[in-house]
Amino acid sequence: MPLNPWRLRLLCQLETLGTVRAVAEAVHQSASSVSQQLSVLEGEVGTPLLERTGRSVRLTANGHLLASRARVILDAMTEAKAELKALDNEPTGIVRVAAFQSAVHSLVVPAVSALAVDHPAVEVHIVEVEPDESSQALLRGDADVILTSTDNVDGQLRADFDVVPLLTDSVVVVLPQGHRAARDERVDLATLADELWTFEPEGRYMSNLGHHLCQAAGFTPKVVCRFNSYAIALQHVEAGHSITLLPELAVDRRYDVVTRELAPAHRRRVVGAVRGTSRSRAAVRVVLDHLREVASGLGEFAE
- The 10s digit of each residue's pLDDT in 150-207 is 775 444 567 778 889 999 999 999 999 999 999 999 999 999 999 999 999 998 889 9
pLDDT for the residue numbered 24: 85
- How many Å apart are CA 275 and CA 134, to the nearest integer? 12
Stronger pLDDT, 3 or 177, i.e. the higher one: 177
Count of beta carbons in the 10 Å neighbourhood of residue 124: 20
Residue 264: asked if its preceding bond is cis (omega within 30°), the reply is yes
- The answer to whether domain 5-81 and domain 91-165+269-296 are alike in fold is no
Q: Find the mean pLDDT for residues 215-234.
A: 95
Domain boundaries, the chain: 5-81, 91-165+269-296, 169-267
- How many Å apart are CA 52 and CA 68, to the nearest integer? 20
Given a cut of 60, whether residue 219 has pLDDT beyond it is: yes
Segment 57-66, tens digit of pLDDT = 889 999 898 9
> What type of residue is 195?
E
Q: Find the mean pLDDT for residues 22-43.
A: 84
What are φ and ψ of residue 64, in 5° steps? -65, -40
CATH architecture of 91-165+269-296: 3-Layer(aba) Sandwich (3.40)
Stronger pLDDT, 133 or 55, i.e. the higher one: 133
Superfamily of domain 169-267: Periplasmic binding protein-like II (3.40.190.10)
Count of beta carbons in the 10 Å neighbourhood of residue 59: 19
Q: Find the mean pLDDT for residues 19-41.
A: 84
The dihedral region occupied by 217, where left means phi > 0, alpha psi between -120 and 50, and beta the remainder, is: alpha
pLDDT for the residue numbered 154: 44
- How many Å apart are CA 104 and CA 90, to the nearest integer? 25
Q: Find the mean pLDDT for residues 231-250.
A: 95
Given a cut of 50, whether residue 114 has pLDDT beyond it is: yes
Q: Name the CATH code of domain 5-81 (choices 3.30.70.260, 1.10.3720.10, 1.10.10.10, 3.30.1280.10).
A: 1.10.10.10
The structure's pTM equals 0.68
pLDDT for the residue numbered 84: 61
Q: Find the mean pLDDT for residues 275-280.
A: 71
